[in-house]
Amino acid sequence: MKTAKPSPDASALHGEAHDHAHDHGHAHSHDGAEGASVESALAMAEAYCRERGEKLTPIRRKVLELLLASGRATKAYSLLDEMRQIHPGSAPPTVYRALDFLLSAGLIHRIESINAFAVCHDLTQCQHGILVVCQQCGNVTELHEPKLRQALVAQIEAAGYRLAGDGIELKGLCAQCQRSQANQASQTDKAAQPGAAAAPEAAAQS
């Protein structure tokens, strides 16, 4: 994805939250532009597009807003359904053209492993980190470890391959989905115990 230095106005909208995130951590979840308000993120995106000589049209802005509000990877057909609730006449090409623009501007990522889209954690300052994607709920965390990424790319190239794009994705299961899965397994185990069904029956007879 293309990247460019953001305008002063866009940088100001990042504020202290952006500096704090880069000073104290290397993992960024897609939680609505790192906790910044959706409106602030949209204003930053609009300033960035103006600097590039492009326009964040109402449709493009709405698609980006839906992704920001989601806070996780979202499939195109889900975005289309949401758009139709707002604009009943929305057609698939309209949403796909908006997504293509946002991708080319570097504002969002295409999550290949689940065929979905997510907002770049820093919007206009995408650094092409390593994406860890939950295969169950679509949560995306972006790891910024330049040395690790460089070493991984070097190994890939040494094996005779060339990456088809800038993105590197790792499939996984997020902590919340792990807990949910463990709880479901626990409930299933309890239901399968021999005394689980007998106890209520005995209580009823007494």
Q: Is 53 left (phi over 0), alpha (psi -120 to 50) or beta?
A: left
Parallel, antiparallel, or unpaired: how do β-strands 130-134 and 168-172 relate?
parallel
Rounded-to-integer distance, Cα 145 and Cα 166, Å = 14
Tracing tokens 């993120």 back to the chain, one arrives at 41
Give the pLDDT confidence score for residue 123 in this predicted structure. 73
Is the whole model's pTM more than 0.75, yes or no?
A: no
Amino acid at 106: G
Nearest to 42 by CA among 17, 18, 21, 67: 67
The dihedrals phi and psi of 72, each to the nearest 5 degrees, come to: -150, 175
Structural domains in the chain, CATH included, are: 8-180 (1.10.10.10)
Give the pLDDT confidence score for residue 13 in this predicted structure. 32
The dihedrals phi and psi of 122, each to the nearest 5 degrees, come to: -115, 15
* Structural element, H or E, at residue 141: strand 140-143
Q: Chunked in runs of 10, what are the mean pLDDT values of the chain (206 residues)? A: 35 33 44 62 93 94 94 93 91 95 92 90 72 90 87 94 85 94 88 63 52
Q: What are the structure tokens assigned to 140, written together?
A: 């995306």
| 3-state SS assignment for residue 123 | helix
Amino acid at 152: L
β strands within 47-139, DSSP E: 108-111, 116-119, 130-134
